[in-house]
Amino acid sequence: MTLQTSPRPDAPAAKPRAGLPRWVSTLAPVWTLVALFVFFGLASPSFLRPQNVNNILVQVSTLAIFGTGMTFVLLTGEIDLGISSTASIAGMVAAYLFATLKLQEPIPLIAGLLVGTLLGLFSGIICTRFRIPTFMGTLAISFIGSGLTTYVSKGRTVTTLPEYAKFLGSGRIFTDEAGKGGFPFIVIVAAICLFIAYVVLRYTRFGRYVYMTGASKSAARLAGVNTNMILVAVLTISGFTAGMAGIVGMGRLGSAQPDPVPSYLLDTISAVVLGGTALTGGRGGILQTVIGLLIYGTLRNGLDNIPGIDIYLKEFITGMVLVVALVVNVLFAGRAARDKTV
């Protein structure tokens, strides 16, 4: 048994990876973002204006709140398909309690958040207790959520919204005397969510367990991690953030809709995955999600800003760029992974 060791020798064992150095491959999403920014900056005169950058941030804020919870879920290697329905029922409950039952603020908001959290908890318990894949379990939850929304709203759009929700969604702070300018509050809400999640994932034991569960469920269990509990927890978190996003999103749009916004779900998953968080779990994190959100927001907004682009082609172009970005991610990540297994 030897006792000689230095904390950080010149890593003789780290085999040189074939091809690209580490900083290129792990930062692939950042390069994608930079490339998009440069491209749109050159192609559109209005893209880089502060007002437009501000717009991008506002546009991705709702997704960012969704994405916070989704990052937890994807890190464990699971998925939550219920978020857009959860968001809509949370928003609708808050609006209903405020507009119809005239409950005092902030009770409607708290109730909305509670509904979202409970739906997440419920799907977590169902999936672990009965060993239902989260893909199926949360899909069922999504029907429950949208069904409840339709029922509560009786198919009507509610436009009388809690003031708190309106402020969270479309309020501004640091405005001038005339009430103009300032900074959108929704961006701050999103930033707080992301920051808390960042701290939890990086510095707490729970965060560590989330990664370990995603990296290898069997190894995590052998190390004494209650992986079922972790799964319930991440789905609950995702339910909470979905509820939050629902309320904030409702405040931004100015109405509670009787139907969920289906694109929320796929937009969120695309953004998180674009940042480099693996669907298979164990790799990624909040910083990656932030990058992914910015890529997504830049792409969507940038296409709007290029003059003369056929609006009927926008969706198609978005799709093509996403394909390229994902392929780039996978090529880089895949190369790293292959090096390890060989």
Interacting residue ranges for another protein, rule: CB under 8 A = 1-9, 11-15, 203-209, 212, 215-216, 218-226, 282-283, 340-341
C-beta of 215 vs 330, nearer to another protein: 215
**CA–CA separation, 207 vs 12, rounded Å?**
31
Residue with tokens 């009965």: 130
C-beta of 212 vs 250, nearer to another protein: 212
C-beta of 319 vs 334, nearer to another protein: 334
To another protein, the closest distance from the beta carbon of 20 in angstroms equals 17
To another protein, the closest distance from the beta carbon of 327 in angstroms equals 22
Query: At a CB cut-off of 8 Å and minimum separation 6, what does 128 contact?
Result: 228, 231, 232
C-beta of 157 vs 204, nearer to another protein: 204
C-beta of 12 vs 308, nearer to another protein: 12
Q: What are phi and psi of 183, to 5 degrees?
A: -120, 135
To another protein, the closest distance from the beta carbon of 340 in angstroms equals 5
Angle between helices 205-215 and 185-203 (to 10 degrees): 80
238, 73 in Cβ contact below 8 A? yes
**CA–CA separation, 124 vs 28, rounded Å?**
33
220, 209 in Cβ contact below 8 A? yes
Q: Which helix (H) or strand (E) holds 291?
A: helix 286-305
To another protein, the closest distance from the beta carbon of 213 in angstroms equals 11
**CA–CA separation, 325 vs 318, rounded Å?**
11
To another protein, the closest distance from the beta carbon of 200 in angstroms equals 9
Sign of torsion over alpha carbons 28, 33, 35, 36: positive
To another protein, the closest distance from the beta carbon of 70 in angstroms equals 22
C-beta of 175 vs 204, nearer to another protein: 204
To another protein, the closest distance from the beta carbon of 19 in angstroms equals 17
Residues in the chain: 342
Query: At a CB cut-off of 8 Å and minimum separation 6, what does 242 contact?
Result: 66, 69, 80, 82, 83, 84, 86, 87, 90, 116, 119, 120
C-beta of 225 vs 248, nearer to another protein: 225
Residue with tokens 């991440």: 234
To another protein, the closest distance from the beta carbon of 222 in angstroms equals 5
Residue with tokens 């916070």: 68
C-beta of 158 vs 197, nearer to another protein: 197
To another protein, the closest distance from the beta carbon of 13 in angstroms equals 4
C-beta of 180 vs 205, nearer to another protein: 205
162, 95 in Cβ contact below 8 A? yes
**CA–CA separation, 187 vs 194, rounded Å?**
10
